[in-house]
């Protein structure tokens, strides 16, 4: 499934601005701290592509106009080439193990304005395996929070969602898309 620039929510014509920086708080960790700023509160779904597998994770609900984004690289070994790629979008995230060729490597981050409702590439990690991190931002106004804290699309807005993504918007906190 080709995720890049795929429009999932059809009624939106607004942007969100992503910015951030690499900071080194600890010697054994590389960390990118960023945020997505919008005119209205958002939730998000992150997609991590690794080979033929795509995992997705919903963010936590946010009533603010900024959406926290953190990407970290932790070492698994002494020579700092076997690493854990860890990401979080407003407290919803996951991690994946990979291998890099150079200890000075930093993944390519994509910052600037992106369209709300469209899947956008956020980070390209050129390790073994290669990882691509995408994100889809969704306005809080079209979702509903369930009693278990998991958000889903309001029934009145189901017609706005691309059919191949309906199950993600209706059920669960995380899952897998098999290609």
Give Dmax (Cα) for the chain. 53
Q: What burial letters (b/e) apply to 95-115, b meaning 16+ CB within 10 Å? A: ebebebeeeeeebebeeeebb
**Using CA atoms, how far apart are residues 129 and 134, in angstroms rounded to an integer?**
16
d(CA 109, CA 157): 32
39's tokens: 């005119």
8 A C-beta contact, residue 127 and residue 34:
no
Block mean pLDDT (10 aa), the chain, length 179: 78 85 81 92 92 90 81 85 89 87 91 92 94 93 86 90 89 84
Task: Specify the pLDDT at position 179.
Answer: 61
Within the chain, how many helices (H) and strands (E) appear? 1, 14
Q: How confident is the model at residue 22, as a pLDDT?
A: 93
pLDDT for residue 177: 87
Contact predicate 68/89, CB 8 Å: yes
Q: Residue 126: what are its φ and ψ, rounded to 5°?
A: -90, 65
Look up residue 61 and give its DSSP letter: P
Q: Which stretches of 13-88 are DSSP H helices? A: none
pTM higher than the cut 0.85: yes
Q: pLDDT value at position 10?
A: 74
């Amino acid at each position: 499934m080709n995720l890049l620039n795929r429009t999932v929510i059809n009624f939106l014509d607004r942007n969100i601005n992503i910015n951030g920086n690499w900071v080194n708080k600890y010697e054994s960790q590389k960390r990118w701290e960023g945020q997505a700023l919008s005119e209205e509160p958002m939730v998000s779904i992150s997609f991590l592509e690794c080979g033929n597998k795509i995992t997705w994770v919903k963010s936590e609900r946010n009533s603010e106009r900024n959406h926290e984004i953190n990407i970290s690289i932790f070492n698994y070994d002494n020579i700092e080439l076997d690493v854990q790629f860890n990401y979080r979008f407003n407290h919803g995230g996951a991690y994946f193990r990979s291998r890099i060729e150079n200890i000075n490597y930093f993944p390519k981050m994509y910052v600037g304005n992106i369209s709300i409702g469209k899947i956008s590439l956020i980070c390209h990690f050129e390790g073994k395996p290669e990882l691509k991190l995408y994100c889809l931002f969704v306005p809080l106004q079209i979702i509903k929070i369930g009693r278990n804290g998991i958000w889903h699309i309001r029934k009145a807005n189901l017609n706005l969602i691309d059919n191949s993504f309906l199950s993600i918007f209706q059920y669960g906190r995380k899952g897998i898309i098999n290609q």
